[in-house]
């Protein structure tokens, strides 16, 4: 859902002609510095508050994650991982999970409904629920397991990067509320620059493998992480090391469909020209008399 | 002119019920197949309605076809003569039927079509269940991805098979009568299905 006036649409699902794109806005990014996060869940609360979402009350499954998973009402979620290895003592790694706003979004590629998913020129990937048909293809396209179909209305939901706030010059609600400054927002360029500073500081403090998470397999993302263990993103509740849109989805939505339509068209034409060339296979009814 | 019974009323009704469901399932499926065909959702009441109806239309088609297939199963088993018939496909498409091995109730082309339909409909059913999200629980995402691709592939094969099937009925004059009125002329049977003709006239 968004109130952003839509004159800067860079990509639109199931659409083969250019979308309104006369306006251009600079690329934005949200940077989540995992090393500064204390797991207070204020970002989750801010997200619920700004978007006026209230999930069902769930049950405790023995971990801090609450609710247990993303859902149609939960667009961002703190994921808590207890990690212990031979080299390092027990660590509590906390990651704010949610849509990564990929530069090359798999959800948009997989979506069959025109305009149900759009990408603005500032990089925000937004679901337009009024155009959503509820098929769930976006889920297959996503390498981060983010979109959720509501049981109530069968529409897909996820983080909007507060596209409504951003369009009027505000920062996303989670950024606004974060008490430790672990979440920052600005131009993608500035955020990459700031992340590099932070990575340098972490390295000085002994985290030699600290790195910026801006995976190139999806063209980079407009939500990025600074990770203490940048060489092992999987430690953070399974953040994929090298996320890409599944080759199965790329084949299905890429080469296969035009080829299939061509094959069907060719068969129909072959029939037509066969009839023109060879003609009907007729029976001489006189034979029956003989 | 003498006519021979080829299909019963029940078989004809069933065939056309499957055919109508195929048309509806195909049109609603094509709507999601490629952006250029999304306008087809208008026949079904818009995007969400098309998404809701498509699996029911497909399931109806598969269930009725399964019954039809059971009745035709025995007649469609391939034999050595069928292989010879298939090797001579050039004679088939050029109306040189006199050179072909003798054909029973179905020729090898019809039999191959039957098995292609069985395989593609079975694939469509099994893969379709995997992403019928409003009815079945969530399957692992890798399976949903694979099923989506196979569903589209099986649908393409099915549509091509049905185009071939419809064209063959149009090309071989006197055939469509079998499915519309239930009977074929003796001359038609002698020419296209001589072994079946002898058997029925015994």
Phi, psi at A231, each rounded to 5°:
-85, -15
Instruction: Tell whether B160 lies on the interface with A, counting CB pairs under 8 A.
Output: yes
CA nearest A14: which of A131, A124, A100, A130? A131
Q: CB neighbours of A161 closer than 8 A, spacing ≥ 6?
A: A28, A30, A99, A101, A124, A125, A126, A172, A222, A223
Classify residue A149 as exposed, middle or buried by CB count within 10 Å of its CB (0-12, 13-18, 19+): buried
> Which chain B residues contact residue A264 at CB under 8 A?
156, 159-160, 163
Q: How many CB atoms lie within 10 A of CB A111?
A: 31
- Give residue B152's pLDDT: 97
Q: Which pair of tokens denotes residue A31?
A: 């940077």
Please write the tens of the pLDDT for every residue from A244-271. 999 999 999 999 999 999 999 999 999 9
- Give residue A160's pLDDT: 97
Predicted confidence band of residue A1 (pLDDT cuts 50, 70, 90):
very low
Predicted confidence band of residue A289 (pLDDT cuts 50, 70, 90):
very low
- Give residue B98's pLDDT: 87
Domain ranges of chain A: 9-231
CATH of the domain at B167: 1.20.950.20
Round to whole Å and give the CA distance between B190 and B4: 11
> Which chain A residues contact residue B134 at CB under 8 A?
134, 154
Under DSSP, is residue B4 helix (H, G, I), strand (E, B) or coil?
A: strand
Burial A186-208 (b: 16+ CB within 10 A, else e): bebeebbebbeebbeebeeeebe
Residues of B serving a catalytic function are 165
Instruction: Tell whether B47 lies on the interface with A, counting CB pairs under 8 A.
Output: yes
pLDDT of A205 above 60? yes
Residue range of the domain that includes B120: 3-200
Residues lower than pLDDT 50 in chain B? none
Nearest CA in chain A to B145: A140
Q: Which of A69, A136, A243, A274 to mutate to test the interface with B (most CBs of B within 10 A)?
A: A136
Mean pLDDT, residues A190-210 taken together: 97
Classify residue B39 as exposed, middle or buried by CB count within 10 Å of its CB (0-12, 13-18, 19+): exposed
Q: Which pair of tokens denotes residue A18?
A: 């250019």
The ipTM value here is 0.91
Q: How far is CA A268 from CA A128, A261, B157, B162, B163, in A?
A: 37, 11, 13, 10, 7
Indicate the range of A196-210, A272-286, B73-87, B175-189 predicted with least confidence: A272-286
- Give residue A288's pLDDT: 45
- Give residue A2's pLDDT: 46
- Give residue B1's pLDDT: 76
Predicted confidence band of residue A203 (pLDDT cuts 50, 70, 90):
very high
Note which residues in 172-201 of chain B have CB less than 8 A from chain A.
172-174, 185-188, 190-192
Q: How many residues does chain A have?
A: 290
Strand order from edge to edge, sheet including A183-187: A183-187, A28-33, A223-227, A211-213
- Give residue A272's pLDDT: 96
pLDDT of A102 above 80? yes
SS (H, E, C) chain A: CCCCCCCCEEEECCCCCCCCCCCCCCCEEEEEEHHHCCCCCHHHHHHHHHHCCCCCCCCCCCCCCCCCCCECCECEEEEEEEECCCCCCCEEEEEEEECCCECCCHHHHHCCCCCCEEEECCCCEEECHHHCCCCCHHHHHCCCCCCEECCCCCCEECCCCCHHHHCCCCCCHHHHHCCCCCEEEEEHHHHHHHHHHHHHHHHHCCCCCCEEECCHHHCCECEEEEECCCCCHHHCCCCCCCCCCCHHHHHHHHHHHHHHHHHHHHHHHHHHHHHHHCCCECCCCHHHHC
pLDDT of A6 above 90? no
Domain count for chain B, please give it: 1
Round to whole Å and give the CA distance between B59 and B126: 10
Instruction: Tell whether A113 lies on the interface with B, counting CB pairs under 8 A.
Output: yes
- Give residue A284's pLDDT: 79
Please write the tens of the pLDDT for every residue from A49-85. 999 999 888 898 888 999 999 999 999 999 999 999 8
Nearest CA in chain B to A263: B160
CA geometry: angle B141, B147, B152, nearest 5 deg = 135
Predicted TM-score (pTM) of this structure: 0.93
Mean pLDDT, residues A119-123 taken together: 96
Round to whole Å and give the CA distance between A177 and A159: 16
pLDDT of A101 above 70? yes
Q: Which CATH class is domain A9-231?
A: alpha beta
Q: How many residues does chain B have?
A: 202
> Which chain B residues contact residue A278 at CB under 8 A?
93-95
CA nearest A96: which of A168, A47, A153? A47
Predicted confidence band of residue A238 (pLDDT cuts 50, 70, 90):
very high
């Amino acid at each position: 859902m968004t109130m952003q006036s839509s004159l800067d649409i860079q990509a639109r699902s199931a659409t083969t002609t250019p979308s309104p794109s006369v306006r251009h806005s600079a690329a934005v990014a949200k940077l989540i510095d995992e090393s500064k996060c204390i797991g207070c869940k204020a970002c989750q609360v801010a997200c619920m508050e700004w978007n006026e979402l209230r999930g069902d009350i769930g049950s405790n499954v023995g971990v801090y994650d609450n609710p247990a998973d993303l859902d149609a009402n939960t667009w961002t979620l703190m994921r808590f991982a207890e990690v212990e290895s031979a080299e390092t003592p027990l660590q509590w790694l906390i990651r704010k999970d949610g849509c990564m706003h990929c530069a090359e979004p798999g959800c948009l590629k997989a979506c069959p409904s025109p305009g149900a998913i759009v990408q603005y020129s500032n990089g925000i990937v937004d679901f337009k629920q009024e155009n959503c048909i509820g098929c769930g293809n976006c889920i297959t396209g996503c390498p981060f397991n983010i979109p959720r179909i509501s049981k109530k209305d069968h529409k897909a939901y996820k983080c909007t990067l507060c596209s409504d706030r951003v369009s009027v010059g505000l920062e996303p609600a989670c950024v606004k509320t974060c008490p430790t400054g672990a979440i920052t927002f600005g131009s993608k360029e500035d955020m990459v620059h700031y992340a590099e500073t932070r990575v340098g500081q972490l390295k000085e403090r002994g985290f030699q493998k600290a790195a910026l998470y801006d995976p190139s397999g999806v063209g980079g993302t407009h939500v990025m992480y600074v990770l203490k263990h940048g060489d092992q993103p999987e430690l953070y509740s399974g953040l994929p090391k090298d996320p890409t849109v599944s080759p199965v989805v790329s084949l299905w939505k890429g080469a296969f469909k035009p080829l299939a339509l061509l094959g069907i068209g060719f068969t129909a034409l072959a029939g037509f020209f066969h009839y023109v060339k060879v003609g009907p296979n007729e029976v001489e009814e006189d034979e029956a008399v003989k | 002119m003498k006519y021979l019974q080829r299909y019963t009323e029940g078989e004809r009704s069933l065939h056309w019920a499957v055919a109508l469901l195929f048309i509806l399932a195909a049109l609603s499926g094509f709507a999601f197949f490629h952006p250029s065909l999304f306008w087809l959702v208008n026949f079904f009441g818009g995007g969400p309605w098309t998404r809701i109806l498509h699996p029911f239309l497909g399931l109806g088609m598969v269930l009725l076809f399964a019954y039809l297939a059971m009745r035709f199963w025995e007649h469609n088993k391939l034999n050595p003569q069928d292989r010879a018939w298939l090797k001579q496909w050039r004679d088939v498409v050029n109306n040189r039927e006199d050179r072909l091995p003798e054909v029973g109730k179905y020729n090898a082309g019809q039999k191959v079509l039957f098995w292609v339909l069985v395989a593609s409909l079975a694939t469509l059913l099994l893969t379709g269940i995997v992403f019928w999200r409003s009815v079945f629980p969530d399957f692992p995402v890798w399976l949903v991805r694979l099923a989506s691709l196979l569903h589209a592939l099986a649908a393409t094969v099915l549509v091509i098979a049905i185009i071939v099937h419809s064209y063959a009925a149009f090309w071989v004059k006197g055939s469509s009568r079998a499915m519309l009125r239930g009977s074929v002329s003796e001359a038609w049977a002698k020419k296209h299905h001589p072994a079946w003709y002898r058997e029925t006239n015994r």
